Amino acid sequence: MVNDQLADFLTRIRNAGRARLSKTDVFNTKMNRAVSEILVREGYLRSYKEVKVEERTFLRVYLCFEGGDLKKPVIQGLRRASTPGRRLYVGSDKMPRVQSGFGLGILSTSKGVITDRDAKKLGVGGEYLCSVW
């Protein structure tokens, strides 16, 4: 049983990239689906879809690689910021920068799961979930 679904999601993505796999299966949760949607929109993932494996549904996530071949994954790093034991909340004015602005922060706000750039534009803060670069 996995207690932290988002940490498991990030670890599976990280491991698939290091193993140069073009796809991986992750648990199908609302949070994983929302984070996958953001990563697809920002160009870190190719796509994702819902698949059924032995009576359970998973999200099959397709990774992007630079140059199209399986040499170097687009996602160089993933880091979980807020954990179940230590929640991390930030305001719109105290948003941390990821890799000097070249990375992406993902937050859970009252407006939904959004990127750090969108949160600054909307002027909302929330739980800082993870960083991607």
User: Could you tell me the CA-to-CA distances from 117 to 40, 41, 64 in Å, in that order?
Assistant: 16, 13, 22
Q: Is the pLDDT of residue 60 over 90?
A: yes
Rg of the chain over all Cα atoms, to the nearest angstrom: 15
Q: Mind listing the pLDDT tens digit for each residue in 75-119?
A: 999 999 999 999 999 999 999 999 998 999 999 999 999 999 999
Residue boundaries of the structural domains of the chain: 5-73, 78-132
Q: Is the pLDDT of residue 69 over 90?
A: no
What was the pLDDT predicted at 81? 96
Q: Is the pLDDT of residue 1 over 80?
A: no
Closest Cα to residue 18, out of 79, 80, 81, 71? 71
User: Candidates 3.30.300.20, 3.90.640.10, 3.30.1370.30, 3.60.15.10; correct CATH number of 5-73?
Assistant: 3.30.1370.30
User: Candidates 3.30.1490.10, 3.40.50.150, 3.40.50.300, 3.40.50.11290; correct CATH number of 78-132?
Assistant: 3.30.1490.10
**Which residue is listed with tokens 């979980």?**
80
